[in-house]
Amino acid sequence: MAAKDRGRGPLVADRRYPSLRAGAPAGGPRKPAPPKEPRAPRRRTRAAKPRRQHGLVVGLIVAIWRVVWGIAWRGAAIGALVLAGVIWYFYAQLPEVTDLIDGRARGSVTMLDRNGEVFAWRGETFGGMVTADSVSPYLHDAVVATEDKRFYWHFGISPRGIASAIRINLSEGRGAFEGNGGSTITQQTAKLLCLGVEWDPKVWKSEADYEKDCRQGGMWRKIKEVPFAMAMEAKYSKEEILTIYFNRAYLGAGARGFEAAAQRYFGKSAKDVTLPEAAMLAGLLKAPSTYAPTASMERARNRAAVVIGLMLEQGYITKAEAEDALANPAVLSKAAKQKSGGYFADWVMETTPDYLARDTTEDVIIETTLDQDIQKKAEEALAWIFENKVKAGSKSQAAIVVMSADGAVRAMVGGRDVPNAGDFNRATQALRQTGSTFKPFIYAAAMDLGMSPMDLVEDTPLCIYTAGSGDWCPQNYDKQFKGQITLTQALAESRNIPAVRVSEAVGRDLVKQVATDFGLAQNFADGPALALGVSESTLIDMTGAFAGILNGGSSVTPYGLNALKLKGMDEPLFGAGGGIGERVISEKAAHALTYMMTEVLNSGTGGRARLDDREAAGKTGTTTSARDAWFVGFTADYVVGVWMGYDDNRPLTGVTGGGLPAEIWHEVMVRINEGLPAKPLVKEIPDSTYAPVGTGTGEGAIAAEDVPYFDDPNAPTYDDVYIDPETGESIPVYDGPPPPGAVPEGRVTDAPGKGDLVDQLLDGMLGGNN
């Protein structure tokens, strides 16, 4: 017992024997302990087991937490090291700020009018470097207020901004990362830099594919942006990041950077833009194509109003400044209103070598012949006619070309609608039948052979045999015949049969040669219908050909480019792309033809084009079924060509060249000659130097082979003359085999007593001696 008690220790003894507790007197007799009552058996409660289970769960959670925490902080540490390594990698790769300013893969083309003012751009324009410190303070603050109001308080990314963007996207039914991205300005700049990946033609098929890849969104893209943006924040100051952003952002209409955009839309530097202009420019960042003022001024101004509201809310401007900006919104410059130079700019690009235009890697300056005042007046004249003279809803089209006598194009309207770059240009691209506007070149050949405007021609029924088609019998427009009339009357009244007679007399090949040398180098018809304008031409070529008549008979190559320079260079790479060329007809012939063409307006089909204050000359033209209607003519200062028709080539209703085209021409001429002194046209009526060659003398008319430009390969050739077996009449066959049963008479030049080839044909076709 004692051993057991000793083994229990003092605590046991103390519990069992209260007298032995600390403080009890030592020694003395021990009293026996009172008898202990039997204990009732302890009943186990229901809460005991859950308490043990709870302890187990807590222990398990703690254990799991310790494992997770251990993994998490180690993973976070590794992730932080990886992130730091990626940031350091990007940091080491980032170049100096100045190397990131101009990121274009291609250059730009800037066009200047004849007075040196910018009127059009092509390609991606970079206006020059600006910095965050040099731009207008309004522009600086507008961009920060609109794109990243916490720009100066974050280190490249804004978790709060991203969370807000996700909430907005989800509330609007989009994916979390579709639509608003919550990107900071630094992240946007990283995207503009394509996260450091440069354009490589071996990787991407086109720059468009490269741009698309750089601008893609989504979660993975955001993840990749983070280290690059943070590297930028470590490498550059906030103002340097803004500088890169200001210079690389795309702002619509081909403008890269705010300097280019300010120049393109407002004609001024980004350093000088006002508050409403700055707000409009900053508003473009959201959607450049949508909010560009050249696309929709209303949308641009509404967006600018939002930007002004943000600037006011964030304390960048006062309430008075905001109210003034809203009351006086930004307006486009004159050049911007031209819609990128329209059809004229497109034509200049087409006529400039690709390596200096579409595919240029340099910034190119093109000095052009365009007169913006004349361009505006031509557009207004066309709009006025269609508003006041044409049935509402008409789908008919029209085109206008205005040029000087040397071929310098001063204005070009390629259609009724305001064009987008690259639209179909009816002034330069539409090949249309010329109708009677071709006739002056028939008479040009005749005048150069020595005929006079007062010479006579037969306006009587005529049939000409053509191989494969039989007899071809042209008709006049009025279905009437006037007998013998002068060449002047024949042209003024646009009579078909006299034109055919003259064409056949001088020779179709000569007519073709004269027309070709004047610039109408298209596929000419081979038969006698050549004289009626069944061949095709463009309006600009036809107008250039008439300019050759105005300048005294020399060829003209229409041109719009005066000089081309690389930006920053004084000397042009090359000069004018056209101008006056070689002589086609003599001055005397050109002046005689000019006189004949003045009568078209004075007494003929062009009466509606007549000008009250100055002389003018021209020619109407209407093709078969009125599918094309023309009027081309000139004063002493300008040549104007007008074409009207439908793009699908269906006939016009009630329209001839002497109608609406003549009225359009009149409106254009009245407007562009306003304020110019009236100058007379140079014209004359020379005596005819043509006379049949006298028998035995060899003297008389100039033979075709004696005309300098009329070499043998181009000389008219005729097949034999045949005798009709029934009537005994001579039938000259121009092309192909003779009529069945006809008997050859021999070469025309071999007929006795008739003189040479030109003598015989003029004598027969013009109806007697001249």
Give the range among 168-172, 182-186, 404-408, 707-711 with minimum mean pLDDT.
Answer: 707-711
pLDDT at 28: 46
Q: Provide the 3-class DSSP secondary structure of residue 408.
A: strand
The whole-number average pLDDT for the span 293-314 is 94
pLDDT at 700: 43
Rounded to 5 degrees, what angle do the CA atoms 673, 677, 679 make? 95
Amino acid residing at 143: V
Residue 226, by phi and psi: left (phi above 0), alpha (psi -120 to 50) or beta?
alpha
Token duo for residue 71? 């993994």
Q: Is 10's pLDDT higher than 80?
A: no
Question: Cβ(411)–Cβ(371) under 8 Å?
Answer: yes
Q: Give the residues across from 630 on adjacent strands.
A: 621, 643
pLDDT at 412: 96
Query: Cα torsion for 164, 167, 172, 174, to the nearest 10°?
Result: 100
- Rounded distance between C-alpha atoms, residue 122 and residue 248, angstroms: 17
Task: Give the model confidence (pLDDT) of 689-715 as tens digits.
Answer: 864 334 444 444 444 344 333 333 333
pLDDT at 52: 65
- Rounded distance between C-alpha atoms, residue 127 and residue 253, angstroms: 13
Task: Write out the DSSP string of 422-474.
Answer: T---TTTT--EE-GGGGHHHHHHHHHHTT--TT-EEEES---EEETTTEEE--
Question: Cβ(609)–Cβ(665) under 8 Å?
Answer: yes
H helical segments located in 249-341:
258-266, 275-283, 288-291, 297-313, 319-327, 334-337
Q: SS3 breakdown of the chain: % helix, strand, coil, rounded to 5?
A: 45, 15, 45
pLDDT at 282: 96
Kind and range of the H or E run holding 401: strand 397-403
Closest-CA residue to 592 (of 685, 506, 503): 685
- Half-sphere exposure of residue 614, counting CA atoms within 13 Å on the CB side? 23
pLDDT at 334: 76
Kind and range of the H or E run holding 563: strand 561-566
Give the range among 484-498, 522-536, 671-685, 694-708 with minimum mean pLDDT.
Answer: 694-708
Say how many C-beta atoms besides its own lie within 10 A of residue 633's C-beta.
Answer: 30
Task: Write out the DSSP string of 697-759.
Answer: T--SSPPGGGSTT--GGGS-----EEE-TTT--EEE--SSPPPTT-EEEE-GGGSTTS-SHHH
- Rounded distance between C-alpha atoms, residue 525 and residue 541, angstroms: 17
Q: Is 168's pLDDT higher than 90?
A: no
- Rounded distance between C-alpha atoms, residue 49 and residue 276, angstroms: 77
- Rounded distance between C-alpha atoms, residue 155 and residue 17, angstroms: 76
pLDDT at 92: 81
The whole-number average pLDDT for the span 235-244 is 93
Question: Cβ(640)–Cβ(633) under 8 Å?
Answer: yes
- Rounded distance between C-alpha atoms, residue 176 and residue 178, angstroms: 6
- Helix 508-517 vs helix 439-448: angle between axes, to the nearest 10 degrees? 100
pLDDT at 49: 58
The label of the residue with tokens 């009526």 reads 685
Q: Give the residues across from 400 on adjacent strands.
A: 413, 642
- Rounded distance between C-alpha atoms, residue 364 and residue 354, angstroms: 12
Q: Is 770's pLDDT higher than 90?
A: no
Terminal Cα distance for the chain, rounded:
171
Question: Cβ(192)–Cβ(101) under 8 Å?
Answer: no
pLDDT at 104: 61
- Rounded distance between C-alpha atoms, residue 543 and residue 545, angstroms: 5
Token duo for residue 617? 């000359």
The label of the residue with tokens 């794109």 reads 147
The whole-number average pLDDT for the span 300-309 is 96
Task: Write out the DSSP string of 537-595.
Answer: E-HHHHHHHHHHHHTTSEEEE-B-EEEEEETT-SS-SB--S-EEEEE-S-HHHHHHHHH
Question: Cβ(238)–Cβ(152) under 8 Å?
Answer: yes
Closest-CA residue to 59 (of 71, 67, 48): 67
User: Which string of b and e fits 372-383 if b means at least 16 CB within 10 Å?
Assistant: bbbbbbbbebbe
DSSP code for 31: P
The whole-number average pLDDT for the span 90-103 is 79
DSSP code for 607: G
- Rounded distance between C-alpha atoms, residue 138 and residue 273, angstroms: 8
- Rounded distance between C-alpha atoms, residue 38 and residue 19, angstroms: 21
Task: Give the model confidence (pLDDT) of 415-457 as tens digits.
Answer: 987 666 567 899 999 999 999 999 999 999 999 999 999 999 9
- Rounded distance between C-alpha atoms, residue 489 and residue 541, angstroms: 26
DSSP code for 413: E
